[in-house]
Amino acid sequence: MNYYIAHNINLDSDFLELYESSSGKFKKVVIDDLIDLLETDSTFIYLLPCSKYSSYKYNYDNSLTNTVNEINFISNIEDIVVSDISSQKIYFNKNEAYIIDKNFIANLNTFLSNLKIIPFIIPEHTVIRDILGDIKIDLGDEIFLFNEGMPYRLLKNILKSNIEIQNLSNPDQSSSYKESLDKSFMVALIDKFDLYPNFFKFNFSLSSIKSHLRLSSAYISTFILSICLILLLPIIQTNVYERDITKYEDGINQIFKSLDKNIVQSAKPRKQIDLLADNFNMSQKNNLTIPNINFIERFGIEYIDSIEINVIESNANIYFSNIPSSQLNIFLTMSETFNISIINQEIDTSDNKSTGYITIII
Amino acid sequence: MNFFSKLQSREKLFLSIMIFLVITVAIYSFFSKHLYQSSISKTKLEDTYSDYKYVLNRYRQIEKSINSKLNSDKSKLSASLETFLLSKSIQIFSIKEDNNDLVIDLESKNLSSLTNIINELNSKYDLPIKKINFYRNNDLIKLEIVVD
């Protein structure tokens, strides 16, 4: 897996120092470039500058809930925090507590959630203290240092006008960031990055879910359309049924109208038609069913001279002439397939041509 | 949206669950209501179709009963048959009386249309048919029906 570690060297600059584990190289990038730069499914570690959050010593009481610990922590620091505490997000880690602007961390989480990566947001001082110890780092315009275990980033311009802090953060005793935050530092961080506090929280939104599930717009549109269709299916089906009901009711109505124009159709059409039918003699004297003779067309109607159906004797004579014998044999063999019973046949065959007639039952 | 962002995370979770439940119940109610209506419509359609078939069958019986009265009067039967056959896509060659029989001569290009005509005549009229003869006449097929 490829690892990326991003770090703000100078807060005033838009550039991030980005380390890539596969190449082992550093490069300066703008945050928006990360969308194209980061490899899919890689691990991205962002070292959050300590000036973006405040660190406090706080003994987390495991016997209490997180909410109660937050309340206790706020009551301890309320007097020293300048900004509105409700606009701050609180994190606990071991014997430290961190407060960070809610909007800032939310925007960062939203941005990273939309990337196809595994992100970590780690407060920088926890890593520096663990790997490099109590160190002063020259970041160019700023100095990073620890004072009583708490991290600070101080502008060099301010240092010159404040002797008290100047003694504390003598730039001569600091090492440059290129020496301190070098490749060996990054390799050490990659080995145990999951041991540090992680401020990242996945931001559930349509775009982030879409990005992580690799869903295309076409797929989502099809999915939504399918759901809508499933929901609308009973309505469509009901309309189709209602249309057919109207069609059949109209048909029934027309039948009644054709029998009597003045008739009013009742709710019970069966009973009504039965009452009408009682006025007629319904006995069927003649009921003829024509046998299935359409199959003859398939065998060649051009060889058939005539078909005589005798209704009284319930049989039919089929006369043919000069039909190829092979064709006639197929017909005679397959006659049972067409439910045709041959009871008599008179056939003369010469030169593979047959002439004569067959009698079938109808 | 601003209101939602100001809420505590547990309130957001609770609200999200409630919205999800409300939407789920609404979709379920909507779907089940229309599914039920669809089921009722289907049953009604089956009943109506069954009624239609029954009424149509009884109508054909009544029609056949009315037309059977024409059997005793060949000229009226001939006129009625001509009117019926003219509405069909076949050629009427002739309808004439011969030795107290009614002989109907029709022509068509295929056998199946002629057999269909015989079946339709049979369902509409109570004809005492004596003979049915098919003759091939070049490309056409001639049908002769002899009614007693």
pLDDT tens-digit map of B4-31: 767 777 788 888 899 999 999 998 998 8
Look at residue A198 and give its three-state secondary structure.
Answer: coil
Q: How far apart are CA A41 and CA A283, in angstroms?
A: 84
pLDDT at position B94 over 90: no
Tokens representing residue B85 in the block: 């056959």
292-351 in A: which are within 8 Å (CB) of B?
293-294, 296-297, 301-302, 304-312
Contacts for A288 with CB less than 8 Å, ≥ 6 apart: A311, B118, B122, B127, B129
CA dihedral sign of residues A52, A57, A62, A63: negative
CA dihedral sign of residues A279, A284, A286, A289: positive
The Cα of A107 is separated from the nearest Cα of chain B by a number of Å equal to 12
The Cα of B47 is separated from the nearest Cα of chain A by a number of Å equal to 9
Helix ranges, A22-80 (H): 34-37, 66-77
The whole-number pLDDT of residue A236 equals 92
The whole-number pLDDT of residue A332 equals 82
* Among chain A residues, CA nearest to B29: A231
* Among chain A residues, CA nearest to B35: A234
DSSP H or E run through B124: helix B111-124
The whole-number pLDDT of residue B88 equals 83
Contact A251 B122 (CB under 8 A): no
Contact B62 A276 (CB under 8 A): yes
Tokens representing residue A127 in the block: 């890593």
- For residues A354 and A323, the answer to whether their CB atoms sit within 8 Å is yes
Long-range contacts of A270-277 (CB under 8 A, 24+ apart): A270/B51, A270/B54, A270/B55, A273/B54, A273/B55, A273/B58, A273/B59, A274/B58, A276/B58, A276/B62, A277/B58, A277/B61, A277/B62
Tell me the pLDDT of chain A (362 aa) as tens digits: 889 999 988 776 778 889 999 998 898 898 888 888 888 889 999 999 988 898 888 888 888 888 888 888 888 887 776 667 778 889 998 888 999 998 899 999 999 998 888 999 999 999 999 998 888 888 888 888 888 778 888 887 777 666 555 555 555 677 888 888 888 999 999 999 989 999 998 888 878 887 777 778 888 889 889 988 888 889 999 999 999 999 999 999 999 888 887 777 677 889 998 988 888 877 766 666 676 676 777 767 788 888 888 877 888 888 988 888 888 888 888 877 777 788 898 999 888 899 999 998 87
The Cα of A136 is separated from the nearest Cα of chain B by a number of Å equal to 38
Q: How far apart are CA A83 and CA A224, in angstroms?
A: 44
ipTM over cut 0.85:
no
End-to-end distance of chain A based on CA atoms, in angstroms? 83
**Amino acid letter, residue A155:** L
**Amino acid letter, residue A291:** P
Distance of CA A121 to the CA centre of its chain: 28
- For residues A81 and A95, the answer to whether their CB atoms sit within 8 Å is no
The Cα of A113 is separated from the nearest Cα of chain B by a number of Å equal to 17
Which chain A residues contact residue B46 at CB under 8 A?
none
Among residues A121, A184, A173, A120, which one has the least CA distance to residue A146?
A: A173
pLDDT at position B45 over 80: yes
Residue A64: CA count within 13 A, CB half-sphere: 11
pLDDT at position B137 over 70: yes
Architecture of domain B73-147 in CATH? 2-Layer Sandwich (3.30)
What are the distances in angstroms from CA A237 to CA A135, A221, A312, B36, B45? 75, 23, 51, 11, 12
Long-range contacts of A150-155 (CB under 8 A, 24+ apart): A150/A55, A150/A56, A150/A57, A151/A50, A151/A55, A151/A123, A151/A124, A151/A125, A152/A50, A153/A11, A153/A49, A153/A50, A153/A51
Q: List the domain boundaries for chain B.
A: 2-67, 73-147
Chain-wide mean pLDDT for chain B? 86
Helix ranges, chain A (H): 34-37, 66-77, 102-113, 124-132, 156-161, 163-168, 177-180, 183-192, 206-212, 217-259, 269-277, 296-300, 325-334
Look at residue B37 and give its three-state secondary structure.
Answer: helix
- For residues A231 and B28, the answer to whether their CB atoms sit within 8 Å is no
What residues are paired with A121 via a beta bridge?
A46
Probe site for chain A from B37, B41, B64, B120 (most A CB atoms < 10 A):
B41
What are the distances in angstroms from CA A305 to CA A319, B44, B103? 5, 52, 20
The Cα of B116 is separated from the nearest Cα of chain A by a number of Å equal to 9
Probe site for chain B from A237, A257, A298 (most B CB atoms < 10 A):
A237
- For residues A99 and A90, the answer to whether their CB atoms sit within 8 Å is yes
A258 touches chain B (CB under 8 A): yes
The Cα of B13 is separated from the nearest Cα of chain A by a number of Å equal to 12
Probe site for chain A from B2, B25, B38 (most A CB atoms < 10 A):
B38
Contact B49 A248 (CB under 8 A): yes
- For residues A2 and A43, the answer to whether their CB atoms sit within 8 Å is yes
Tokens representing residue A71 in the block: 């309340």
Other Cβ atoms less than 10 A from the Cβ of A231: the count is 13
The whole-number pLDDT of residue A165 equals 59
The Cα of B58 is separated from the nearest Cα of chain A by a number of Å equal to 7
Q: How far apart are CA A216 and CA A209, in angstroms?
A: 11
Probe site for chain A from B17, B48, B102 (most A CB atoms < 10 A):
B48
pLDDT at position B43 over 70: yes
Q: How far apart are CA A101 and CA A199, in angstroms?
A: 12
Contact B27 A231 (CB under 8 A): yes
- For residues A276 and B116, the answer to whether their CB atoms sit within 8 Å is no
* Among chain B residues, CA nearest to A289: B119
| pTM listed for this prediction | 0.53
What are the distances in angstroms from CA B51 to CA A55, A217, A247, A261, A270? 84, 50, 12, 20, 6
Q: Which of B49, B115, B130 sits opposite A294 (nearest CB)?
A: B115
262-281 in A: which are within 8 Å (CB) of B?
269-270, 273-274, 276-277, 280-281
Among residues A8, A12, A7, which one has the least CA distance to residue A156?
A: A12
Other Cβ atoms less than 10 A from the Cβ of A136: the count is 18
